[in-house]
Every structure is written in structure tokens, then in C-alpha cells.
Amino acid sequence: AAGIMAGKKGLIMGVANERSIAWGITQALKEQGADLAFTYQGDALKKRVEPLAQSIGSDIVLPCDVTDQASIDAVFDTLEEKWGKIDFVLHGIAYSDKSELKGRYVDCSRENFLQTLDISCFSFTAVAKRAAAMMNEGGSMLTLTYYGAERVIPHYNVMGVAKAALEASVRYLAEDLGKDGIRVNAMSAGPMKTLAASGIGDFRYILKWNELNSPLRRNTTMEDVGGSGLYLLSPLSSGVTGETHHVDSGFHTVGMKAVDAPDI
Ligand code: NAD
């Protein structure tokens, strides 16, 4: 295949359906000639992810529940067998109990705090360790985060705490792996209507707020995350690591509701 990703092999984790942010990035990578493998969580999603993978000519589709180290290990053992090396990894995975994505952060349970941090933060570190061991010629890793890590967003709660930890882990991973030519970055996407987002309280209001108050006066699209994801996972961003890159129509730069923005 032609393109800037020709000859490059990468693992995509976190596709649930065609609305997944990971799927938007997948399409941009594929257009540039990348070879891709996918993971899915559980049998229900297998039925969704397999046809999507097939539609772009990928036949490596593996189960992975990141709460289980043996499940992560099995994925990388298989990739080692099939490919021997990899060039990039996309981590688009997060989870918190829906009942705690509304109301007050202070009411978070210990059990859900630990589960949220495990799935939404530690899993990227666990994946990075296995992936780095297969990146003989350097590589790039990307995870997905949200502005709720930096500022308080209604209902984001423990997920905001997990994303703050995730962004900090990106900086530590970038230092650890940089000596081997491996770059580690996060993309902070604006709100997008996906399966995971449907669990967040008043999500439609958050979408509308971002649309009306971001400098570009529109919400983030699949093409937006696709282009920036391709940049961060490809040699185009060869000098960039440890970064949290905002792809949010500029919303994170705004300090106050614009005077001309309508009320909602
Ligand atoms: P999505 O529901 O399409 O993707 C979430 C994925 O996480 C799913 O594929 C799901 O199977 C996977 N997952 C959850 N628990 C798992 C586990 N234990 N093991 C393996 N996989 C597991 O939704 P999305 O919005 O595309 O989410 C992808 C990433 O983008 C998440 O990290 C999310 O926090 C982040 N993000 C989303 C938005 C948004 O508004 N949608 C904005 C910024 C960042």
C-alpha cells in the first residue's frame, strides 16, 4: 500500500462500533496504508468489531478485557507470533459505573474508583509495557483523554480523576520509553456522541455547550480525530512526546462564554 503508514503495523484497542473515536482514527491510518489489528471486549462487541475490521481488510481481531493481565498478554503473544514487531498502538478504552457519572464526585465508591482507574488509566501502562517490547525500531503510542482531567466538567467526576492520572502517566511513559525511540502522547478530544459518552449525565447539554462556545463553533468530528490521530501515530509528529494534544475545536482555550454565543 502507498501512504505515510505503508509497511507500518499497529494495534487498535477500543473500537465498539462505527461511532468509536478509535474507529475514526483507524480510517485515517488505513487510508495511509497501515496494517491494523483490533481488540474487542466481550462477545457482544465481537459481532460489531469483526465486520468493521473485515471492511478494511484486517483479519487480526482478538478478545481483550484489560482488567485481566492474561488477556493483555495473550494479545501481544499473538501479535508477536503473527507480526514479530509493531510500530504503533492506539488505546481508546475507558470505563466507569454509569451511576457515578452523575451527581457528586465526593460520593464515589472505593470499588468504582479503583475499577475506573484500573480500566481507564492503568491499562494504558500495562499495554505500553508489552507494546514497547515489540517496538524494535521505535514507535508511537496514543491514548484518548478529555478536558475533564484539567477542569471540572459536570458529571465527569471520577473519570476526570482517572484522565488526570492517565495524562500524568503519558508523561512518565514518554520519559521511560523515549530512550528507545518510542513516543507516547494523549489526544484530548472534544465531546463526541459515542457509546461511552451515552453514560455521562446531561451529555447532550455538554455537546451543545461546546458547539456554541468553542472558537470553531462546532463539535469535534471523526475527521478531526482521524487527522490528528494519524499525525500523532505517524512520523509526522516525530519530535512530539509526553504531550496532551487538544482536538476540541479550541474549547480548552476559552475562559468565558462568548458574548455572541446563544444561551441554551
Ligand atoms: P466507545 O464506547 O466507542 O469506546 C470505549 C471502549 O472502551 C469500548 O470499545 C469498550 O469496549 C472499551 N472498554 C471498556 N472497558 C473495557 C475493558 N475492561 N477491557 C477492554 N476494553 C474496554 O467510546 P469512545 O467515546 O470512543 O471512547 C474511547 C476513548 O475516548 C475513551 O478513553 C474515552 O474516555 C475517550 N474520550 C471520549 C470522548 C467522548 O466525548 N466520546 C471525549 C474525549 C475522550
ipTM of model: 0.99
CA angle 149, 10, 41 (to 5 degrees): 65
What is residue 245's predicted lDDT score, i.e. its pLDDT?
A: 98
Task: Give the torsion sign (CA, 82, 2, 235, 245).
Answer: negative
**Closest listed residue to residue 78, CA positions, set 9, 26, 15:** 9
* 191 Cβ closer than 6 Å to some ligand 1 atom: yes
* 93 Cβ closer than 6 Å to some ligand 1 atom: yes
**146: annotated active-site residue:** yes
What is residue 258's predicted lDDT score, i.e. its pLDDT?
A: 84
- Residue partners of 51: CB distance under 8 A and separation at least 6: none
Task: Please tell me the distance from the alpha carbon of residue 61 to that of residue 218, in angstroms, as a whole number.
Answer: 34
Domain ranges of the chain: 9-246
Beta bridge partners, 187, equal 144, 245
**40: annotated active-site residue:** no
Residue located nearest, by CA, to atom 11 of ligand 1: 41
For residue 21, give the ligand 1 atom closest to its CA.
Answer: 26
What is residue 261's predicted lDDT score, i.e. its pLDDT?
A: 85
Residue located nearest, by CA, to atom 21 of ligand 1: 41
User: What CA–CA distances, in Å, run from 49 to 27, 32, 56, 62, 156?
Assistant: 14, 21, 11, 10, 27
* 79 Cβ closer than 6 Å to some ligand 1 atom: no
Residue located nearest, by CA, to atom 15 of ligand 1: 95
* pLDDT tens, per residue, the chain with 264 residues: 789 999 999 999 999 999 999 999 999 999 999 999 999 999 999 999 999 999 999 999 999 999 999 999 999 999 999 999 999 999 999 999 999 999 999 999 999 999 999 999 999 999 999 999 999 999 999 999 999 999 999 999 999 999 999 999 999 999 999 999 999 999 999 999 999 999 898 999 999 999 999 999 999 999 999 999 999 999 999 999 999 999 999 999 999 988 888 888
Q: What's 9-246's CATH class?
A: alpha beta
Please tell me which residue in 40, 147, 156, 231 is annotated as part of the active site. 156
Residue located nearest, by CA, to atom 33 of ligand 1: 94
Binding residues for NAD(+): 14, 20-21, 41, 65-66, 93, 163
Q: Where are the alpha helices (DSSP H) in 118-216?
A: 123-132, 157-178, 203-213
- Residue partners of 195: CB distance under 8 A and separation at least 6: 16, 17, 19, 20
Contact 187, 232 (CB under 8 A): yes
Q: Where are the alpha helices (DSSP H) in 133-256?
A: 157-178, 203-213, 222-233
Q: Which phi-psi region, left, alpha or beta, contains residue 154 (left: φ > 0; alpha: ψ -120 to 50)?
A: beta
Q: Is the overall model pTM greater than 0.95, yes or no?
A: yes
* 89 Cβ closer than 6 Å to some ligand 1 atom: no
**Closest listed residue to residue 88, CA positions, set 140, 151, 165:** 140
Q: Count other Cβ atoms within 10 Å, centred on residue 179.
A: 7
Task: Please tell me the distance from the alpha carbon of residue 50 to that of residue 32, in angstroms, as a whole number.
Answer: 21
Q: What nine digits make up the cell of 116? A: 475506573
Task: Give the Å distance between the CA of 219 and the centre of ligand 1.
Answer: 18
What is residue 237's predicted lDDT score, i.e. its pLDDT?
A: 98
What is residue 203's predicted lDDT score, i.e. its pLDDT?
A: 93
Task: Please tell me the distance from the alpha carbon of residue 92 to that of residue 63, in angstroms, as a whole number.
Answer: 15
User: What CA–CA distances, in Å, run from 167 to 10, 64, 122?
Assistant: 22, 23, 11
Task: Give the Å distance between the CA of 95 and the centre of ligand 1.
Answer: 7
What is residue 263's predicted lDDT score, i.e. its pLDDT?
A: 83
Q: Phi and psi dihedrals of 142, rounded to 5?
A: -140, 135
